[in-house]
């Protein structure tokens, strides 16, 4: 009989394994920018580039979800979102770009003859001329989050992360893009209180 404590430990280990993704955010902060001294932010329009997400309704949903994820993380860092751009210390935006390519599938063939049949001399069957090599779709892209100074319009902070996925459903791709954007926003400098 498995105890409840063993199940709890196994669940915690599984959760820890799932949350410790080895993503390294490429960060840049302008030397003259004191990002942590800012307190408010407003959004500029984000951009989801084709062909990563082609359908307009999926693109709009992805933009909304990325924006919500980044906003949540910035609020955790102590920043306040304002709806009017006149009251913002910085403007936040994002960009998602990507491409789709096809690579040879690494899946084994099912129903293939046994190695004893194939590896004996003279028994190597030739593949049919109509058989194409197996392919799988791979989507690769980059997610970038920007923070510009509201007064000067200059870039204060930028975080980017590359993503590669073999996910076949667009919902999975959008979820992964949102997770990457959230991870980037977690690297944003935390706000410090003014003395």
pLDDT in tens, 74-86: 999 999 999 888 8
pTM given for the model:
0.70
**37-68: pLDDT as tens digits:** 999 999 988 776 655 556 778 778 888 999 99
Closest CA to 38 of 145, 152, 144: 152
List of domains in the chain = 24-99+133-195 (3.30.160.670)
The confidence score (pLDDT) of residue 3 equals 54
The Cα–Cα gap between 185 and 188 comes to 5
Instruction: Give the list of residues 6+ apart from residue 97 with CB closer than 8 angstroms, or none.
Output: 49, 52, 141, 142
Nearest partner of 44 among 192, 141, 155, 140, judged by Cα: 155
- Predicted confidence at residue 14, as pLDDT, reads 43
Portion of the chain with pLDDT greater than 90, in percent: 36
Amino acid 96: pLDDT: 87
């Amino acid at each position: 009989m498995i105890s409840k404590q063993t199940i709890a430990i196994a669940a915690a280990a599984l959760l820890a394994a799932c949350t410790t993704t080895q993503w390294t955010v490429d960060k840049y902060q302008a030397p003259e920018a004191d990002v942590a001294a800012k307190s408010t932010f407003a959004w500029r329009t984000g951009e989801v580039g084709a062909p990563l997400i082609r359908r307009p309704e999926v693109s709009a949903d992805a933009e909304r979800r990325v924006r919500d994820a980044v906003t949540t993380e910035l609020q955790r860092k102590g920043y306040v979102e304002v709806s009017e751009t006149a009251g913002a210390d910085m403007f936040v935006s994002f960009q998602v770009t990507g491409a789709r390519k096809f690579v040879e599938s690494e899946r084994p063939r099912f129903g293939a003859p046994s190695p004893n049949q194939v590896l004996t001399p003279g028994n190597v069957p030739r593949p049919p001329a109509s058989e194409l090599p197996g392919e799988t779709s791979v989507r690769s892209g980059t997610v970038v989050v920007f923070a510009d100074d509201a007064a000067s319009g200059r870039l204060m902070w930028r975080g980017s992360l590359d993503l590669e996925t073999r996910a076949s459903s667009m919902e999975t791709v959008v979820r992964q893009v949102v997770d990457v954007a959230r991870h980037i926003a977690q690297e944003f400098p935390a706000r410090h209180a003014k003395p």
